[in-house]
Each structure stands twice: as structure tokens, then as C-alpha cells.
Structure 1
Amino acid sequence: MSDPILQQVERLQVLGRTPEAIATAESMATEWARQGQPLRAIALCRLLLQLEPAHVRTPRLLADLYAKPDAPGGTASAPGTGALPRVPLFSQLGRESFMSLVGVVEPRTFQPGQNLITEGEPGRSSFVLVEGRVDVVRQMEGGERRTLSSLGEGEFFGEIALVSESPRLASVVATQRVLALELHRTRVERISLKHPAVGETVRVFYRERLLANVLRSHPIFSALAPAQRQELAHIFELRTVEAGRVIIEQGQRGDGLYLLLQGQCTPLFRRPDGRETAFPPLREGDVFGEISLLLGQPASATVRAETPCHVLRLGREAFEQYLSSQPGVRAALMRLGTERLLHISKLLASGRAVHEGDQRV
């Protein structure tokens, strides 16, 4: 939303010329919607709803143009709008659900250097960028602050907050003036009571984007072509594991390949005399369970969730079927498994404690 339009509407409101402010905002939102700029139109639509809570023309127009046509309550796009872009999340909803979601997003502006999200704080909302750019920054274990990526218009981030109030994994900092739409989890939960499709669509949206992000950035899977990663994403299963639960039991046949998305797990090696040795904890992005699957052996260690965890699981049958056609991924997992077996052998031979920096189980 450009500053002149926003300032013009706000100035008219301050002057008490509310009908004129509403007409100006509606006219511009309609133009942006028909020009294929739905996020700008949604941001201005929210301003309209603040000026006139009973206003329905613009939300209906947006829904007619961008809601999912074949969903219950959905409608076909208006004539001549076949080339309009789909809006992630929003366009997966039918007409009424679309309008309800538009009604609860909150336009937010940030200046360069301001944090939209702060690492470590509880996550309660997600964002989509309407204008500007941001950097995703993480505090590394050595104290270094590292920029992981830069995001621009149309990018979503912070989606995990829509399903879980987990600590933020990174900070998001404005590098330009930013206009963003913020979506609060409590508001999504509230409208989901009336429109259950909203809650289910948000969960599917979160899962798909989380999978895509992990597979794109993980060193074992990043070499795959986008179509291959998309195929793999469909066969991974997202699971939530409560603290204290054993995910893999040493000596038992492994049931799948696991990728830790969030939380912390501890690998434990049980010696023949019954003593247990803890390996360095598994953290976000770590893979485990590959040894049993690749070598057809019982699991070489127990893996226990120390905190509530989100994991991706690829079952044994799907693992074998998929990796038979992906020699590069199989080779990478075989190298990882071999290094871990070597590490366990050294541990048995030396009896020394395991230190940070050792290969993880």
C-alpha cells in the first residue's frame, strides 16, 4: 500500500470526511484487486472495515476474484480474471471462509531495523509481506548473528505460530519500510469455530510450507529437483511428540526415517552392561533412524524426546520405495549412518565420554 493512498485516507478520516475516506479506499482496493495485487487490496480492505465495520462490497469482490471456486460457497472468477494470481492460504478457502480470514488480518508497518519477529519469544502470529524486504537472522551457538535469507513481497513467515506457541527460531528484521499483514492464532481459532475449513486449511498450509522449507534447505535433500522434493513432501508424515516419549528404541527394528523440525531429542546408547551414555542432543534439521532402514539392522541407539517435538516421519515402505530411485539421497544417508556406526564403535572401544562436535547418532 503506497504511502500517498494510506495518508490520503487517514487524512480524510482525521478531517471527519469519513464517507470520502471510505470511497477513496474502496476505489483503490477495487483497482488493486482487479490488477492482480490482492495483498495490497486486502490491506486496504482491512482499513475499510475499520472505517465501516458493516462494509461488505470489497470483501465480496476479493472473494469472487480470489477464493477457491470449487470449495463450498466458492464462486467462479469474474470474466476476464483467469490470469489473476492465487494468494497462498487465502485462495485455498471458499468464499465465506475467505471473507472471514480477510476480516481478521491486521496491517502492520515497520521501519528499517525494526523486528517483526524476535528470536526466542513465544510465537503467536504469522506474517505475509505486502511491501518491502526483511532479513531472517539467527543467533548461532558461538554467539554469531547470521543472516539466513532475505524475503520480499508475497512471502509468508512465522507460520508455525498458527498451530503452536513455540519460541521463535529466528528474528525477522525489516531492511526497508515494510507493510505486512499479521494473522494471530487466537483470531484464526475464533473464526474456525464458525468456519472449520479455515482451521484445517491453516494446518495444511503450515505443513506444506514447513516441509518445503526443510527439504529445500536440508543438505541431504537440497540437491533434489523441485518436483522431486514436492513428491517427497507428499509422503512425509508430520507428527507431534510429547516430552519424554521414546521415538526409536535401541535393539528394535526401525519403523522409519525421522527429521527433527522443532524441539530437542537425546540419543542414548545402552552398553552390554546396562549403562547408558547420552550422545549430543539432536536439534532442528537432524536426521535419525537411517541406520536400521539402510542396513536392515536393529536401531543402534534409543532416541527420546526431551521437549515437545515436531518431527517428519518417512515410513519404512515409503522410504524403500522412494530411495530406490534416488541414489544421491541414499548415498548421503549411507555416509551419515556409517559415520555414526564408526562413532559408536569408538565409544565402545574407548569408554570415553561424548563431547560436542562428535558425530550424532
Structure 2
Amino acid sequence: MNLRKRLFTVCSLLCVSAALLVAAPNAERLFRDVEAMDLQGQSLEAIRSAYDKLDDGIARDALQARKDMFEAKGKGDLASYREAYSRLEKLGTFRMKGEQSNLLLGRILAEAEPKRGEYASWLYQKSNFYNPVLTLDFTSEGATYRYSYRQQIQKAPLSEVILPDYTQLRTNSSQVGLLKGWGLAKDELTYRGGETIKMPYTDQSLYAIWEPGVRFVQEGGDTLYEGVEQGQEVAVPTPSTPDGSAVFVGWYDRGTNTLLKEEKTYTVVGKGALFEPLWKSINIAEVAPLFYPAGALSKHTQLGVGFLLENRGSVDLTGLEARLTSESPFVTMLVDRLSLGSVAANRFATNNSRFSTTRAMQIQGGYNTFRFVIADAAPSGAEIPFVLTVTDKQGDAWSKRVTFKVE
């Protein structure tokens, strides 16, 4: 009976030991196996599988090391904590080396698609040494100028890259001309500006292709004059906008600070120009009474009204003033004019906000608000019409009609 028990105990210990061996940390063993692989002779699939298993082993060992560190810290066992930390630190060395990465890249690029892309994406995730870079070279130079700028893009191979076009540049077009597109060689157009391409497998450079030209940017289609020459005259188009409240200021070239207001033609200076339309446009987004509901205004009470403006134009508006009027015989205006200062392009402001903001803000009470009184004689439920008009420094105006009800 004792012998049987001893045999059972020995077998149990052997089974437990075997289980522990299977579950034991094995990143170092897996790393040695990977290091011993013939990267030239083994299939790429076998190599990928081995590195994936190594990563799994590293993750398991790291989890165990952190757990051991936590337990050692709780017990105050400094020696055990240091030992676990040393194991965790060592796991960071079990990574693909530069020469291994380069060797695998060479093999991957010899593959046909789609396997080439599949393996390259895998290598990008596994190797710290595989980081293809796409360099965009904007350089342009002449007898009296040199424009030099480079942009580097680092992304996974085959991911999408949208090449810059004229809308993203602020250059002196009279010197460099207009950006036509991008070339693998400095004088050969390969891609158009704005075109979407795939990130290359290896480091590549694209060169900006500039050409003489004048472009008028507008919704519905640009007007482009290509191959222009110094002194040549081109017709200035009439701009269009779907916003009926917009006021056209002029065609503006930021590179040369040139503004065309009422000109019908433009005489080319240097290699050309890039004109964008400047618009003034105010959206009176909201007009609301303060504290009282718009559908139940009290009679015989001093009431306040505030509003929210949105500058939808492309220029800052300055010297703004607002006026609130009503044709109702029941309304007596106490404060009907307000000075607003300025509102930057593409920003919001209220009648009493200190600064314009990129997001709409809430209308609040306080200073610089319209004030009026509704007479006791006003019928309950009567609709009181108002007109809010905002005028800028040049006298251009925008209006909004609103109606409030009497309590």
C-alpha cells in the first residue's frame, strides 16, 4: 500500500513538473531558435511563424515578470523584485536585428504581389529597422531666388498618401510658378498634386514640378492659365458663391500680397500667381431674449436680447455695429445700438463676448445687450417682430428677422 502511494506521488510530481515546463517562460528559448534559423534557406512563412511565436513568448514572460515584481514589492522582497525586473529588462533585447531585417526585406521584395505587400506589412510591425520614408522635395531655384523645403512621410508600406497640391502651399508664385505635380525625376511629371498614391516599400523621393501659370481658385472649378509669360495679360473671372449673403472683397495672392478688386485683367508678374477669392459673410446664427422665454415675454418689464454671430467669410471683420429695430407700436427701445468690435474669419462671437472662438458659444446676460419694454396694452400671445442688422466698417450689412411672443 505504501509503495502504491509512493508511485502515485512520484507520478503526480512528474505530471506537475511536465505541466510547469510547458507553461514555463520560454521567450529566451524561442529567441535562440530564431537566431539559429537560416533566414536565406527557410521559407518566409516559417520565419514569420517563428517571430510571431517569439512575440507571444515575450508577452507571456513579460506578464509573469510584472506579476512577480508586484508580489515581491508587496512582500518587501528587494532581491526578488530586482530579479524579476532584470528578466523584464532582458526581454527587450529579444528583437529582430538590423541585418536580419534588411535580409528579410530583400527576400520580401523578390516576392510577387500580393505576398510582397503582406510580408512587408508584417515586417513593418516586427522590425524597428524597417521604416520606409517618402521625401517630398519642394526645392525650386533661379538666378535671384532659392526656395527649399522638404517634407518626410513615414508610414506603413502600401498605406495611402495624398500628395500635396496648391491648396496646401504658401509660396511666391511669381518666383516659383504653380505646383503642377510630383516626379520621380526633377523634370518629369509622375503624379498630379492631390493624387493618392501607395506608400513605397523603400525610401523614395518625389520632386515638385513647378510651371508658369496663373490660377484663380473658386468653387465649381478653378480658372487656370498655364504656360504664361512675364507681361502677358489674362482675364480675371467673376467669382461665384452659393452664399447669397457673401460680399466679394477681391482676388488675393498671398505670396505677393496682391489684391485685385475691380480689375478685369491681370498682367503676369514673373512666373505667375495664385489668387483666392476674399469674401465677407456674417451668419446671424441666433437671436434670443435673456432669461425670459421667447414665447412668453413679460409686459411692463425691461427685457434684454443677445445674439450669436458666425463669420463665414475669409477675412476678419472689424468695426462691427449692431442695431435692433421693431415696427411694433407696443415696443419701446431703450438700447437699440451696440458696438461689437471685430470677429475673426471662421469664428463665432456673441454681443458681449470678449474674444471670438472656433466653436459656437452660449448667449448670456450682462453688458452690451439690447434693452426694450413691451407695453401693458400689448395683447397676450401677440407676436412682436424685430430686425437685427449687423454692419461692418465699410458699410456692408447683414440682417435677420425674428419674432417673439407676449406672455
Q: TM-score, structure 1 length as denominator?
A: 0.24
Bigger fraction of residues in strand: 2
Larger relative contact order (Cα-Cα within 8 Å, sequence gap ≥ 6): 1
